[in-house]
Amino acid sequence: MLKKTKPAARPVRTVNPEAHQRDIIEVATQEFAEHGLAGARIDEIAAKTACSKRLIYYYFGDKEGLYLAVLEHVYRRVRSVEADMAFDQWPPTEAMRRMVGFRFDHHFQNRDFVRLVMIENIHNARFLARSPAIHALSAKAVDRVDAIYRRGVAEGEFRPGLQALDIHWQISAMSFYNVSNSATFSRLFDVRLDKAEVVARLRANVIETVLRFVAPT
């Protein structure tokens, strides 16, 4: 008589909560950027991440909690890359040139970041006000500009009397507009702001504008 063999045990599926949360945030970033806070659906995010709504709420509390986590994620992403660039290895003018170019490129390559900032402005920065992390990241971004600017003043490459926050504003404004107003500007003036030659020209113009602003008079 043949002995009955036991069926092989199924492998135990392990879940990495941190990896799971990262997947949810990546998908939610696209959903919120495309549909806004009101239009994004937790059902859709759950379906695309193969997890339940209950699990999303367990991780993030509610829809607004997930939206805030997304905001912190996109701000942390840009600031962490910028922090790794070690601008102090270059002379001040070259360091400023590289910082402006990096920020212009980041905005162009990360349109979800721009759209989320636009959406948060619609909400009067209500959620940013709840995030000490984003405040700290933004302060460090201005500090990096300030460090380059102070070196430039000390070495005679930049004029004194400017505020680092004003330089940061200029860089952000010009880099942001190229993405935030791309559709309307392109339609009004029959130009493609996403064409490689146009992007390169605008990038060079933004760098030159900032460098002229900080240059000695």
Does 45 reside within a domain?
no
Does 91 reside within a domain?
yes
Read off the pLDDT of residues 115-163 as tens digits, 9 standing for 90 and up.
999 999 999 999 999 999 999 999 999 999 999 999 999 999 999 999 9
pLDDT at 120: 96
Instruction: Identify the CATH number of the domain in which residue 149 sits.
Output: 1.10.357.10
pLDDT at 19: 83
Predicted TM-score of the model (pTM)? 0.85
Q: How far is CA 86 from CA 80, 95, 96, 97, 216, in A?
A: 11, 9, 12, 13, 24
Tokens of 166: 């004003």
Does 43 reside within a domain?
no
Q: For residue 106, what are the domain limits?
A: 72-214
Instruction: Return the DSSP state at 3.
Output: P
Does 196 reside within a domain?
yes
* Domain total of the chain: 1
Does 168 reside within a domain?
yes
Read off the pLDDT of residues 21-46 as tens digits, 9 standing for 90 and up.
999 999 999 999 999 999 999 999 99
Does 11 reside within a domain?
no
Does 84 reside within a domain?
yes
Which positions ≥6 away from 115 have C-beta within 8 Å?
33, 34
Q: Is 121 helix (H, G, I), strand (E, B) or coil?
A: helix
Does 40 reside within a domain?
no
